[in-house]
């Protein structure tokens, strides 16, 4: 049986900063179960940590959903981090290194994009943010 078939989708609700730790542990455990290398497990956990922190900092509540994906050749971990907070007015600016509206280094979103294989961000001002990332095992 392939690893991807034994790992089921999981969700972590995020409201407090303790939930950020739970979300990244969930991602790491799923990555480990899917057979990701240790560096990739750390990258996945770090990416989830950055994205889930944005929920705590900018929205009051959100979710992290993780599930295995396959494109026929490779297995990946697909993670959706979503909130119904104020949204992002200028996504292009938010994706620039050093840009921050809060008390941060402004590396969260662009840094996260660098450490995953696929990155998509959708936001409607007033309606929230949804970030989707995929990390593939063999690329």
Partner 1 sequence: MAVRVPILRQGSHLIASIQEELSDSDILNLQSRILDEVVKRQADGVIIDVGALDVIDSFGTRTLAEIASAVQLRGAKMVIVGIQPEVALSMVLLGLTLETVPTMLDLDAGIAELNGAAR
In angstroms, rounded to a whole number, what is the distance separating the alpha carbons of residues 29 and 26?
5
Identify the residue whose tokens are 């730790």. Answer: 21
- Cα 20 to Cα 3, 4, 26, 56, 94: the distances in Å are 26, 24, 10, 8, 20
Show the site string, 52-91: x = touches partner 1 by CB under 8 A, - = not: -x--x-----------------------------------
With contacts defined by CB under 8 A, name the span among 59-67, 71-79, 100-108, 130-138 that binds partner 1: 100-108
Among 33, 95, 107, 134, contact with partner 1 (rule: CB under 8 A): 107
Instruction: Indicate which single residue of 14, 34, 43, 59 sits in contact with partner 1 (rule: CB under 8 A).
Output: 43
Q: How far is the CB of 42 from partner 1 (least distance, A)?
A: 4
**Tokens for 19?**
């939930």
Q: How far is CA 2 from CA 44, 48, 78, 139, in A?
A: 20, 24, 17, 18
Does 131 engage in binding with partner 1 (CB under 8 A)? no
Quick check: 52 and 81 in contact, CB under 8 A? yes
Using CB under 8 A, list all residues that contact partner 1: 16-18, 20-21, 24-25, 28, 38-39, 41-43, 45-46, 49-50, 53, 56, 97, 104-105, 107-108, 110-112, 114-115
């Amino acid at each position: 049986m392939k690893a991807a078939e034994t790992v089921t989708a999981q969700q972590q609700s995020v409201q407090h900063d303790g939930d950020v730790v739970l979300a990244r542990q969930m991602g790491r455990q799923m990555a480990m179960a899917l057979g990701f290398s240790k560096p990739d497990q750390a990258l996945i956990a770090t990416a989830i940590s950055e994205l889930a922190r944005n929920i705590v900092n900018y929205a009051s509540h959100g979710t992290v959903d993780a599930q295995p994906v396959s494109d026929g050749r490779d297995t990946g971990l697909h993670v959706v981090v979503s909130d119904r907070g104020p949204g992002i007015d200028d996504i292009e600016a938010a994706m620039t290194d050093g840009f921050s509206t809060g008390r941060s280094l402004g590396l969260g979103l662009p840094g996260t994009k660098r450490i995953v294989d696929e990155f998509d961000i959708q936001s409607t001002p007033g309606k929230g943010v949804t970030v989707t990332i995929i990390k593939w095992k063999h690329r």
